[in-house]
Amino acid sequence: MVTLTAPESTASTAPDARVPESSTVDLAVTSVRELNQAIHNAADGQAWTVTNPGGKHSLAVGIDADIAVTIEGHAGYYAAGMHQKGGVTITGNAGVGLAENIMSGRVHVTGDASQSAAATGHGGLVVIDGNAGARCGISMKGVDIVVGGNIGHMSAFMAQAGRLVVCGDAGDALGDSIYEARIYVKGTVASLGADCVEKPLREEHLAELAELLAAGGRTDNPADFKRYGSARNLYHFHVDNSTAY
């Protein structure tokens, strides 16, 4: 079923009944442009289901209404890019740049995510039940990321703020040139990047980690994780740091 325009018009005039429970967009017969235009015009409280996504790019990008979007299948690049409000759930895998520059709200992928998941995200929560590829959380600026599996190399590169939780293993050069973001990893870390060090896991960290794991629907024990962050040795250009990079 394709419902793209004024779904309210088919409902009764009673205020509480004007918003339909769900509108479905079939991308086998509807363009990505039509989908995004429809959800940009959507009212708070609406629910949208996208079928036959077929790995198409830029699905459900730029959402700034409090709506719930479910993509039933695999999404291509930049799914839920610049997400601002509401939630997007992808019941499949996501391509490069999942939820890039997310501002707030929630994006959830039940499968794996490719490179640069949640890149430059300023806020909100990105949950990846499976693995994430390289550069997960690159230049993150306040987003929270919970990954159920492993993450690839150069993740949290130049990460400025926010929290990255990894329930599996991390690849090489984790947190290279990191600023003030905090990283929690349960498994092994192949190597740490420049200026990224292991730090004590204090009570406040256990508490925030427990909250993040709960938000991500995880049952892992916070005490099993290690915390990583910036040594803050490279915050100023100095001749003594010339071999650090």
Partner 1 sequence: MTITSIPAPAPTDIAALGLRESATFDRATIADIQRAASTGVYDIRGWGAKRKVPHFDDLLFLGASMSRYPLEGYREKCDTDVVLGDRHATRPLHLQTPVTIAGMSFGALSANAKEALGRGASEVGTSTTTGDGGMTPEERGQSKHLVYQYLPSRYGMNPDDLRKADAIEIVLGQGAKPGGGGMLLGQKITERVAGMRTLPVGIDQRSASRHPDWTGPDDLEIKIGELREITDCKTPIYVKIGASRPYYDTALAVKSGADVVVVDGMQGGTAATQQVFIENVGIPTLAAIPQAVQALQELGVHRKVQLIVSGGIRTGADVAKAMALGADAVAIGTAALIALGDNDPRFAAEYSALGSAAGFYDDFQDGRDPAGITTQDPELSSRLDPVAAGKRLANYLRVLTMEAQTIARACGKSHLHNLEPEDLVALTIEASAMARVPLAGTSWIPGVQGSF
229 interacts with partner 1 by CB under 8 A? no
Q: Which stretch binds partner 1 (CB under 8 A): 42-50, 71-79, 186-194, 196-204?
A: 71-79
According to CB under 8 A, which residues from 36 to 55 bind partner 1?
Answer: 36-37, 40
89 interacts with partner 1 by CB under 8 A? no
155 interacts with partner 1 by CB under 8 A? no
Residue count of the chain: 245
Instruction: Kindly give, in sequence order, each residue whose CB lies less than 8 Å from that of residue 130, ignoring residues fewer than 6 positions away.
Output: 93, 109, 110, 111, 112, 113, 148, 149
Site pattern 114..143 for partner 1 (x: CB under 8 A): -xx--xx-x------------x--xx-xx-
Among residues 161, 141, 140, 142, the alpha carbon closest in space to that of 151 is found at 140
In this chain, which of 38, 96, 145, 196 binds partner 1, going by CB under 8 A?
96
d(CA 234, CA 242) in angstroms, rounded, equals: 10
Query: Residue 199 is encoded by which pair of tokens?
Result: 């730090």
Instruction: Kindly give, in sequence order, each residue whose CB lies less than 8 Å from that of residue 30, ignoring residues fewer than 6 positions away.
Output: 2, 4
The half-sphere exposure of 213 on its side-chain side, counting CA atoms within 13 A, is 22
86 interacts with partner 1 by CB under 8 A? no
In this chain, which of 2, 68, 82, 215 binds partner 1, going by CB under 8 A?
82
Least distance (Å) between residue 115 CB and partner 1: 8
In this chain, which of 57, 65, 149, 194 binds partner 1, going by CB under 8 A?
57
